[in-house]
Each structure stands twice: as structure tokens, then as C-alpha cells.
Structure 1
């Protein structure tokens, strides 16, 4: 008889955005002997995850029964042969060697997720169970801060109330030095995930002092590209808004843009050059004067 465990692990950014834990590892352990038979309360089963030291991970290595890597959506699937009763508790741990955006410091980060009895369903091959966990926003924020990393996410729309626009490139600039801090593409729902670390925001004049405190986060303004062409750019002063100053390590910035008419200027110039080359009609001269006044 075998066991198959499927599920998803993700993290909450702000109040409504979920980030999948790409390339993280989930581990399943048999419980320690002293823990077996102890009654588990609902509070313990769904408590927030707790950090584990390297020593704690090493001491439970002989109880490991399965391990799997999470995919690009935070999903996992792992299986093992029957080595315990389906009514027995299991321990679930998470290993996060690097953040989803591969930014910030790289080092093993181990956490205990839960100790619980899974709800197994019997089929012809064995037992199937499911498990999902969303890391609370405050814990995820602290993990990013400890790694010296940032993630900025949001929806890109052409007007308030409209759906997000896929396939756009979002380019973010650090307002304190006008350097590009990162680029990202919107997904099928119009959401982008922008990743950078202290290394990127440390270029140039980044360190500032306000009210006697040293600033640590960036101030960003954005540009939007479609098929490699600039369609919208934000005024640098937008970075001075209170919600943009010293962005926290996990931030949400939605972008509502209106495609600029500047992209049509090349067409005007092309027609101007054609008119200058021919000048055969008075109507052409009039059109040339009109276009010149527009420019």
C-alpha cells in the first residue's frame, strides 16, 4: 500500500496577493516517539510556521519519509510506501534555500509547518491526501527583510475597473538615482512580480536620512512597454507619494495607465518628410503647417 500527498504552499503579500513558493522543498517526517499518541489540538495543527535550526533538522533526518520540490505555481506531489498507519500523525516541514525571485541572500531556511493527521482517501493504489498552507503576510515580510530582498507586485490596467493587461513589460526606476531597479512581465491576469535586493538599490545615492532615521527602502516610478515599445511613463514625482516612499520588503503597487499619444509622433515625422520632399500642392503646404504647429 502506498501514500500520495498533493498540495500547494504559497505566501501572502499584503492583503490579497499570493506568491507561490517556487523551488522550495516540503518534507514529510514520522513524528518523534515522545510525540506519538499525544492529542493534537486544532490550534497546534494550524499554528504559524516556526523556524528550525540546522541542528534540529539534522536530529530528525532519520524520520524523513519523503521530500518534494514545489513547481512554478507552488504545487507539489510526493509519494512513499506504507511505513505508518493512516491514522498516525505526520510532521510537515519547509526548506527555503532561496526566495522565489532568487534575490537576496542564499542560505538554508528551514521551518516547521504542522504536525497533524491528514485526511486520507482510499483508492485502488493506496491512500491519497492533500495539504495546503499560506504563509501569513507578516512572517513572509520578515523572511524577505532578513534576506535583504524585496518583491513588489500589482495589477497593470488601462483604466480603473478593467481587467489586467497581460504581456506588458514593467520597468521600475529608483527615484533617488534614476537607475533601473528591475523589470518584469505581466502574466495572464495582468499581474507582475518585480524582484530586487539590497545590491540593486544600493547603487548611487540610495541612503537617505529623514527625521533622524536612515531610509532603507526604494522610491519607485514606472514605465510600461508593449512589444518593446514605450506606451506609458510615469512622472518621477509619483515616487514622492507617501505610499511609494521606502517601500516595505513585500509591497503592492497597482498601475493604471493610459497609452501615450507620443508613440504616434514617428508617424507625423514620417509624413512631414514626405511632404517636404514633394510639396506639389497647396493642400500639402497647409497640412505641413498644421502638423508643425502640433509638434
Structure 2
């Protein structure tokens, strides 16, 4: 029968409350150097047997090595022993060149060997009676393991548990962030998310707490009170849903901590940390995130992709609760110019007043729910909120940032939603005309050419009662808010008109228009007439759906856009083979469709395509 030692190696980091498996280390089994004291050593206390083995001793006992194996990720190992040594006492060492450091790869260093104990196997037969098995399990004391990881491999560890101070329940799914309090700037040492019992482990190296403003040229711990202390000064913050909270402050720091830090943390309220980014206006749109300067073409006032703005636009930036320890308030201003390249007038700014602002979320109130599996809830804070919603207070046209202790102000997010229709007004153009007008210009005294308008936008911020400063000014942007009314649709025989169209788009057939009933049939000729109007047309295209003969195809040549504000004209089918004409179409029903786009954006979404169609019968 074979003899197998099945074992497991683990280590304490903070006593029984925090441990880890010894993965990917080599377990070595030796015969004792001398048998005389084997029995005494096998019964000795662990604290008296565990020690580092010198290189000379490793060499001297090489001839006594019976077998070795590597532990798996759970610290388990299995080693087969020759039957002739099964009644002997055995020395067990482990040999490692790495130690755990999640979520990073194992930290590598000089390989070292440690003696665990002398072990006298107690063999038991396996269920199949074919193998003798001896079990061995060992947990390295925390004082040893923390010293090994820290001194030899520069891996420092924080073990802790986070609970609700009021209920004592563990807080699950919250990121705990370890900070090092420094004289110049506080460094983040590491972070980890709590499990269902509120436990977390944070691993870091001395590199994280030796950073200075001169790093990486000069790294040294810059402690607040002891500039050359060996360990970091640790305090904790929390993070949930992308928002940071001040669980502790620099004043609560634990000075000069050792290789292992064991903590029990509890939170009774959520106090958001103000962003390090100063209050500022930086972008248009949360989705497209268009920079207010580099993202705008000065020659056109449009985005670099050629889009003008319309409708409701998110103004994106950062606000904070306080400026110089006083409540922050901010407003936006606008200035219209004739051309986007015109110089701005320092005295030409006007405030964006409350009724120009659409309902806007500028931050959230955070609170504990008491539910361990979903511990934190948030409630949005609005500009122009309604009903029972939390809503800001205006100081004239100034927006006052809420001061609730659990309020988190937006960082690089929407801070005002500008209704550009209130800024420019909405121009309505009546497009009512006979269908015979389709395919011709629509510009007239009653339907004038309405061009883009150009507005610069800027943000001002101040502490209440203090002086205002500018926190971001955009290049003048092109804005177009025109709606077309009574637009012809569906050709002559199913004629209808529609209102409130961002693109006036129509298609019809000359042969049907000229018929007395509007239901004329197509025989030998087909002239498609079309018209599309918007100052910022992007594309106009025609297509046709219907049956074709074998080897036959037909369609329309691409439509070339005219200069603003419209594109119109007449075209005919292009056939393959080119000798075919309308007379060669199969007698059936066909539909001609037109589609158009306009280059208009809110910064979050673009205007969708518009369509029209007309059907006919070929006889």
C-alpha cells in the first residue's frame, strides 16, 4: 500500500479573524537530522519550532530530502512517502519565492525556506483500503507571516471588517480605501470591496506610501509628524457607486503602522468627499462629452463632426459644496454673436435664468438602508425639481449648491441642462403649398431662410457673499431651433400634412401630380420630385421597392446637397441594363421612399432620420 501525506498550509494575518492560504509554495519533507530528539520536537509548541532555515542548513540536509510538492491556490498539497519511511518522524519545511498580493500577481523576492515542525504521521487506511493517508494542517502565526511578507517581500496588509455603527450589521459591497496621511499630498495605499460579512483585505507595498511630489526621482515617507517614519499613517475612506465618502479624516490616522494592520470600522453616516477637481464647466453632453473649446470648430460654431446644437443640452462640469468653507453657488451666462469668429464683448453677458433651465440632476443624497445586501440608497437632487423631489434654492439667478451633510455634488457630470429653445426661441415656418411645389425651392418672404445662431456659454462660481470667478467659457456654438409646419407627406393620392418637423421632407411623382384625380397610373414615364429643408442637412437619399425582371435592377443616383437651407429637384430611375426604361417595369405596385438627416445634436443624442414615401401602380 502507498503512503500519502495530504496537507494544507495557511497563515494568520490578524489572528483568526483574517487568514490566507499559502499558495504556490513548495512543501519539503525531510528525515530528521538526528532521531534522538524527534519525539520531543514533534510535541513542541509551534512557536518554538517555526524558524527560517539558513542556506547552509538547506545544503546540509539535502541528503535527507524525501519528497516535495507545490501547494495549489487553496494551500493544499499531497506528497507520497516511501513505505520504508512511513514509521519515521518527518521534518516539514516550506520554500517560497512569492507571497499572495491580490489583486496583483504574487510578489517575487529572494527564495527562502522555513522550518515548520517535526511531524509523526498517524496513518489511516483509505476507503478502498489501498492507500494509507496521514493528514497535516498548519497555520503560521500572524507575527511570523506578517514579518515574512513585509520584511522579505515588501507586502503590507490591512485586514478589517466594516459594519453599520447603529445596527452592527456588516456592510457588503462597499469599497474600503486605505489612505496614507502625508505632509504634502495623501496617497491611496489600496482598496478592496467588503464581502457578505463586511470583511476586506487590502494589500500594498512601500512604494505606495513613499511617494512624494518628486516621485519617482525621490521616494520617502512624508509623515505629518514624523517625516522619516518607516510605516504609513493610515485612515480610511469609502466608495460606493462611484462616490467617495469620508469614513475618517487625516486627524483619525493610525501613525506609523506595521506590516499588518487589523481594524474594525463602522459607519454611522455617509459624508461625501468633495472632488479634488475645482468647480468648472468643461463639456457639452454627457454621452458625446464635447470639450467646450477644443471640441468646437471656431469657423462654424459646430462640433468637429459638423453638428449644430438644438433642443436641451447638458452642460457638463464639476461643482463642490463649499468654496473657502462657505456655500458654493454658480450661474451660467450667454452671449450671442453674429458670427462664431467674432470677439466676445466683456460687457455682453446675460444670465441664464431659471426658466431657461430644464430639470437637472446635480448630485445625490446618500444614506444607509439597513439592508446588508443593498446597504446604500441615493436620492437625486434637482434644479427645478417638482413635488416632493429635493430641489435647489436660487439666489436670484445663482444656483445654490445643497449643504446637506450627505450630499455628493456632481463631478464631470451634468450641472445644468440648458433649454436652447428658451435661449433662441423656436421659429415656426409654414410649409403649406400645393404638391406641385415639391421639387422646387421653398424659400420665400413667407418662408424665409433662417440661419444658425451663435452663442458663447460660460460658468461663474463664488462663495456666497464673495467675489465671482469664471470657471469655463465655451467657443460660440451654432444653435438651430426651427420647426416646420404643414409639411406635405405621402404624395398626391394619399396626401397629408404634418407639423413640428425638424426637417421639411417631401416626395411625389410628376405623373401623379399632373393627373386629374391624383391617382394616375404609370405607363412609360416616372419623374420623382423631392425637397428637403434644414439649415444643417446631412444627407438626402431616394430608394424604390418593387419587383424586377430577371437580370434587371433599378434605383436612383445619389442626391448632391445644395447650399443651405434646402435641397430639391427631380430625378428618374437608373436601370440595369441601361437600355431598359420605365416601360420595362413589371405591371405591379411600387413605392418610392426618401430619407434625410440633419446634423443636429444635444451632445447626448443626434436628430434621427426623417422619411416620406409615395406609391404607384405600373400598368
Give TM class, smaller chain: 0.7 to 0.9
Question: Any gaps of 5 or more consecutive residues in structure 1?
Answer: 276-282
Specify which of 234, 242, 266 is matched with residue 229 of structure 1. Answer: 242
Partner of 2:174: 168
Contact in 2 for aligned 1:209/1:215 (Cα 8 Å): no
Q: CA deviation at 1:287?
A: 6.8
C-alpha separation in 1, matches of 2:231 and 2:267: 24
SS in 2 for 1:143: helix
Q: 1:6 to 1:225 in 2, by over 3 A?
A: farther
- Structure with bigger helix share is 1
Q: 1:225 to 1:90 in 2, by over 3 A?
A: same
Partner of 1:70: 71
Specify which of 80, 101, 124 is matched with residue 121 of structure 1. Answer: 124
Q: CA deviation at 1:184?
A: 1.6
Contact in 2 for aligned 1:68/1:78 (Cα 8 Å): yes
C-alpha separation in 1, matches of 2:401 and 2:118: 73
Contact in 2 for aligned 1:45/1:116 (Cα 8 Å): no
**Which deviates more, 187-196 or 150-159?**
187-196
C-alpha separation in 1, matches of 2:166 and 2:49: 36
Partner of 1:279: none
Instruction: Give the TM-score of the pair, scaled to structure 2.
Output: 0.40
C-alpha separation in 1, matches of 2:31 and 2:392: 82
Matches within 5 A, 1:13-162: 13-32=13-32, 35-36=34-35, 38-41=37-40, 42-44=42-44, 46=46, 47-73=48-74, 75-80=75-80, 82-101=82-101, 106-123=109-126, 124-147=129-152, 148-159=154-165, 162=168
**Per-residue CA distance 1:159-212 (angstroms, 9 max, x = gap):** 36634333322211111131211122223432111111111111016244868x
Q: 1:93 to 1:261 in 2, by over 3 A?
A: closer
Q: CA deviation at 1:107?
A: 1.6
C-alpha separation in 2, matches of 1:233 and 1:108: 41
C-alpha separation in 2, matches of 1:251 and 1:12: 12
**Which deviates more, 104-113 or 78-87?**
78-87
Contact in 2 for aligned 1:225/1:232 (Cα 8 Å): yes
Specify which of 183, 187, 190 is matched with residue 179 of structure 1. Answer: 187
1:201 matched to 2:209? The reply is yes
Q: CA deviation at 1:62?
A: 4.5
Q: CA deviation at 1:78?
A: 0.5
Contact in 2 for aligned 1:2/1:79 (Cα 8 Å): no
Q: CA deviation at 1:14?
A: 3.8
C-alpha separation in 2, matches of 1:56 and 1:44: 21
**Which deviates more, 10-19 or 244-253?**
10-19
Question: Any gaps of 5 or more consecutive residues in structure 2?
Answer: 213-219, 273-363, 367-377, 404-619
Q: CA deviation at 1:256?
A: 0.7
Contact in 2 for aligned 1:25/1:70 (Cα 8 Å): yes
C-alpha separation in 2, matches of 1:91 and 1:138: 22
1:252 matched to 2:251? The reply is no
Contact in 2 for aligned 1:219/1:239 (Cα 8 Å): no
Q: 1:161 to 1:127 in 2, by over 3 A?
A: farther
Matches within 5 A, 1:267-286: 267-270=379-382, 272-274=383-385
1:216 matched to 2:225? The reply is no
Q: CA deviation at 1:83?
A: 3.7
Contact in 2 for aligned 1:90/1:117 (Cα 8 Å): yes
Contact in 2 for aligned 1:104/1:196 (Cα 8 Å): no
RMSD: 3.4
Contact in 2 for aligned 1:104/1:198 (Cα 8 Å): no
SS in 1 for 2:97: coil
Partner of 2:365: 264
C-alpha separation in 2, matches of 1:208 and 1:238: 13
Instruction: Give the TM-score of the pair, scaled to structure 1.
Output: 0.78
Q: 1:169 to 1:130 in 2, by over 3 A?
A: same
SS in 2 for 1:200: helix
C-alpha separation in 1, matches of 2:30 and 2:230: 43
Q: CA deviation at 1:274?
A: 4.8
Query: How many equivalent pairs are there?
Result: 280
